Amino acid sequence: MTEETELNGTTVIEADQLEAAVDAIARGELVVYPTETVYGLGANALDGTAVERVFAAKKRDRNKPLSMAVESVSAVEEYVPVTGQEREFMQAFLPGPVTVVVSASEEIPSKLLGGRKRVGIRVPDNEIALKLLSRTPPLTATSANVSGTESARTVGELDDAIRETVAAVIDGGETPGGGSTVVDIENAEIHRRGPLVGEISSWLTAQKA
């Protein structure tokens, strides 16, 4: 088998998996997709019933909010209001392993927010994830694991309990691992330290100067 044939075969498999995921999201079901950190568990983030399925699959505390992924920085403002400073930050750091906490709009289901009035926004730096997001509503951006267990970096590491709850899995190979840095620009707070935290800290400091 030539390298080209292998590549084409992979492309066909990925396209089939992507199509299955798009269809599943439209039906309100759950999917697993790769990101630039770990595999994510996705559902229509604007559909409260689908969001509830994510909490149930992960056995996650309903008071802990879920983040929301969109396809681009320009798409963010289709769903939530952002300030000029938040827009500038997102243009500097997204796509990437960063979650930006902003004010939620009325369009965002309260179940996603865990009782809060703000929502975490992700634009994943992963080609497959962005292809999926270009064809779906915003998706939940949370790791594809039962809460308290290890996140999956490969499809093979997915817990059976998660596999049983999803309608489609997109295999993007091994992901880098880790988690995103969570930052609230309005309040100049880093809630979780991770990738790019040094650059983000410098950016926040420069804004105060």
How does DSSP assign 48-91, residue by residue? HHHHHHHHHHHT--TTS--EEE-S-HHHHTTTS---HHHHHHHH
Q: Residue 72 half-sphere exposure, CB side, CA atoms within 13 Å?
A: 6
Edge-first strand listing for the sheet containing 139-143: 168-169, 31-33, 40-42, 139-143, 67-69, 118-122, 98-103, 181-184, 189-192
Confidence of residue 98 (pLDDT cuts 50, 70, 90): very high
What's the mean per-residue pLDDT of the chain? Answer: 94
Please tell me what DSSP assigns to residue 44.
Answer: B
pLDDT of residue 209: 74
Helix (H, G, I), strand (E, B) or coil at 20: helix
What is the total count of domains within the chain? 1
Asked if the model's pLDDT at residue 91 lies above 80, the reply is yes
Asked if the model's pLDDT at residue 110 lies above 50, the reply is yes
Confidence of residue 113 (pLDDT cuts 50, 70, 90): very high
Give mean pLDDT, residues 1-13. Answer: 48
pLDDT of residue 11: 66
pLDDT of residue 10: 53
Report the C-alpha gap between 119 and 102 in whole angstroms.
6
Provide CB contacts within 8 A for 187, sequence distance 6+: none
Report the C-alpha gap between 101 and 121 in whole angstroms.
6
pLDDT of residue 1: 33
CATH assignment of the domain containing 14:
3.90.870.10
Confidence of residue 137 (pLDDT cuts 50, 70, 90): very high
Q: Point out which residues pair with 182 in neighbouring strands.
A: 99, 192
Cis ω for the linkage preceding 65 (within 30 of 0)? no
Confidence of residue 8 (pLDDT cuts 50, 70, 90): very low
Confidence of residue 13 (pLDDT cuts 50, 70, 90): confident
Query: What is the residue range of 34's domain?
Result: 3-208
Give mean pLDDT, residues 78-96. Answer: 97
Give mean pLDDT, residues 54-71. Answer: 98
Give mean pLDDT, residues 68-80. Answer: 97
Report the C-alpha gap between 138 and 61 in whole angstroms.
21
Specify the length of the chain in residues.
Answer: 209
